[in-house]
Amino acid sequence: MSSPIYRALFCDLRTDQLLDVLPLQGVSFDDYIGKTGSASGTLPIPNAAIAARIRAAVVPGRTALWIERGREIWWGGIIWTASVSSNERGFVSMQIQAGGWDSYLDHRILFDTQTATAVDQYDIVRGLISYAQTTPGGDIGIEVGTELSGVTRDRAYSRYDLPRIRDLIDQLGKVEGGFEWRIASYRDPESGRRIKSLQLGAPIRTGAPEIVLTHPGPVMSYGWPVDATTVANAWQSRGSSTNANQAAESVPLMSQSLLDDTAIAAGWPRMDGSSDYSTVITQSVLDDHARADYERARAPRTIPEVTVRIDGSISPALLGSTIRLRIRDLWWSAGLDERYRVVGLAVSPPQRGQPESARLYLEAP
């Protein structure tokens, strides 16, 4: 069986016009729900002609990178850094680092005050992205849908806070009754056009069929970390200053205090946690943030990861889907048979002596 062909397409970020197709060595890429994905690799420069092509096509901050596997788009994002180096033998190459499309919103600031009253939270997200893309030079082709969450919010975003648009969307999603979001990359099956598409969900789920992964079997290895460093069973969040009198002492808005009495009674030591929302001026909004943060902090975080051989059932379309994981070994002597949602995927194309594989990051569905 022949190895799949991976191609790196370099395009203009604003128009998506193809600039060049170049050989990218040592490539690796990942994508997540709730976190910006990344890609990296090395462009060999064997002669002056290739150097000229790379110089023309690779402009950090302006060049988009699409990674194809066969004819399918498996990753897309923006090249942010490039470094040319030469070794002691005179071999010249360029190392590139790219971030997913959502990383662009880290570089966009809300310079105009925006308000929303009883607006569906998905429409607020689309409004923020529309603001970014309707300013001169801001349209990078992110496509948005029309679906609604059924949850309305009141929000006031002040231009004086100079907020990053990515931060506003993240904060909006991380409240009680919030949502997940990502910008997916794929090729339209009918037109063949490359697509950057906003996905929203509470949580995000895809229609990919459930697959069964076993160890021993398709699962080559796994990791099962349990992290209690962020556990808290008592919580309070802090908002903006509530004092309009500049001559008086400034006092911040504080959320209600939250305490897990059941955990304390069960023998857990008290562990305190807090969070800051310097732009939140409404008590109910701050309380929503506090309850959401508190719920996430109450239990040790476990994100299992499994490394699998890539076959016809493994692709970026798994993000948001459910898998059934079966493990039987010394640790799981009685056998593990549970369902998990895929929240992250890191792909390693075939290298010399290494098979093509993917690391899946999981959470309980």
pLDDT at residue number 247 = 61
Going from the C-alpha of 135 to that of each of 37, 80, 325, the distances in angstroms are: 25, 21, 46
The distance in angstroms from the start CA to the end CA of the chain is 35
CA distance 325 to 343: 14
One DSSP character per residue, 279-346 reads: T---HHHHHHHHHHHHHHHSS-EE--EEEEE--TT-SGGGTT-EEEEEE-SSTTTT-EEEEEEEEEEE
Per residue in 132-173, pLDDT tens? 999 999 999 999 999 999 999 999 999 999 999 999 999 999
Range 4-12 average pLDDT: 91
Higher pLDDT, 32 or 312: 32
pLDDT reading at 30 higher than 60: yes
Supply the pLDDT for residue 208: 77
Give 305-349 pLDDT, tens digit per residue: 999 999 888 999 999 999 999 999 999 999 999 999 999 999 998
Tens digits of residue pLDDT in 70-119: 889 999 999 999 999 998 888 999 999 999 999 999 999 999 999 999 99
pLDDT at 246: 60
Q: Residue 3 pLDDT more than 90?
A: no
* pLDDT, averaged across the chain: 93
- Asked if residue 353 has pLDDT above 80, the reply is no
Quote the percentage of the chain above a pLDDT of 70: 97
pLDDT given at position 29:
97
pLDDT of 278: 83
Mean pLDDT of 164-193: 94
User: Per-residue confidence at 263, pLDDT binned at 50, 70, 90?
Assistant: very high
* pLDDT tens profile 265-313: 999 999 999 999 988 888 999 999 999 999 999 988 888 999 999 988 8
Nearest to 29 by CA among 16, 20, 39, 37: 39
How far is residue 42's CA from residue 84's CA, in Å, rounded to a whole number?
9
pLDDT bin (cut points 50, 70, 90) of residue 1 is very low
